[in-house]
Amino acid sequence: MIVKDEFLNKLRRFFGLNLYEVRIWTALLSRGVSTAGELSDIGNVPRSRAYDVLESLEKKGFVVMKLGKPIKYLAVEPGEVVERVKKSIRREADENVLKLKELSTNDVLKELDSLHKQGVEFIEPTDLSGAIRGRNNIYAHLEGMMKDAQKTVTIATSSKGFMRKMESMKPTLEKLKKKGVKIRIAAPITKENASMVKDVSKIADVRHMSKPDSRFAIVDGKELMFMVMGDEECHPTYDIGVWVNTPYFASALQSMFDLTWDKLDDASKVSSKLN
């Protein structure tokens, strides 16, 4: 049996298996029914590890052990394996969420907060900054910034970034709206995102801004996140955001943006023309 390493690596990522597990599993799929020794030879896995690996695969629902001697193993249909893995992931995720919820009801979170507050007291203002890599991490940090907003949230983004941010952060923005936080969003309005403008306009003041091409967010004129590359220039994995917590710089950028804001067209009018 010859299976390309690229294919094996894909299976490892999709199903959360180690190298020996994925070799034994694919070997068994190619045979249907086989002994541990045969699978060891086919999958190029040490015989001393074959039984342990098969036991692990059995627990995960990938194989079934047949009764009789010699002991043989039967491959579970791949479609059924996918469903079992999905259920297992959901179950583990639910268990992990419950564990994290328990933190809010005991002293662990209080102790962590106390440590953090003590640490912040010794931080120089210039140290309250950092580079965040990967779009998912950037968005998670943005949401964390916005959740603590008391007065204003200002967002400048690209046309595609507008759609992504609204799909990801709309629930957070709705909560801010109810708190009385003023939300302003500037982005190029195109046919692609025009239909989203009407919905978003219920919670934020949205305006059309094609130039300058900017990607940043300011919270309460104190905290700032800006992206160092354009939307089209980088893969989401390599997107980089720079976060700074400095009222001096953030308020200066906020003031400059305010001058531009009054000159921008209302997004609802622009989107209605496009539609």
Q: What is the pLDDT of residue 182?
A: 95
Give domain limits for the chain: 5-80, 126-274
Report pTM.
Answer: 0.60
Which comes out higher in pLDDT, residue 234 or 221?
A: 221
* pLDDT the model gives residue 275: 63
Written as one string, the DSSP assignment of 64-131 is: EEESSSS-EEEEPPHHHHHHHHHHHHHHHHHHHHHHHHHHTTSHHHHHHHHHHHHHHHT--GGGSEEE
Q: Is the pLDDT of residue 120 over 60?
A: no
Q: For residue 101, what pLDDT is reported?
A: 80
3-state secondary structure 64-79: EEECCCCCEEEECCHH
Do 268 and 197 meet the contact criterion of CB atoms below 8 Å apart?
Answer: yes
Report the mean per-residue pLDDT for the chain: 85
How far apart CA 44 and CA 137 sit, in angstroms, is 38
| Tens digit of each residue's pLDDT (9 = 90 or more) over 138-183 | 998 999 889 889 999 999 999 999 999 999 899 999 999 999 999 9
The predicted pLDDT at position 206 comes to 92
Kindly report the CATH class assigned to 5-80. mainly alpha
What is the pLDDT at residue 21? 92
Q: Which residue has the higher pLDDT, 266 or 138?
A: 138
Distance CA(109)–CA(29), nearest Å, equals 47
Structure tokens at 197: 């403008």
Fold of 126-274: Endonuclease; Chain A (3.30.870)
Query: Poorest-confidence range of 119-133, 134-148, 200-214?
Result: 119-133
Tens of pLDDT, residues 50-91: 999 999 999 888 898 887 788 888 888 888 888 888 888 888
Structure tokens, 99: 């564990």
CB 204 within 8 A of CB 177: yes
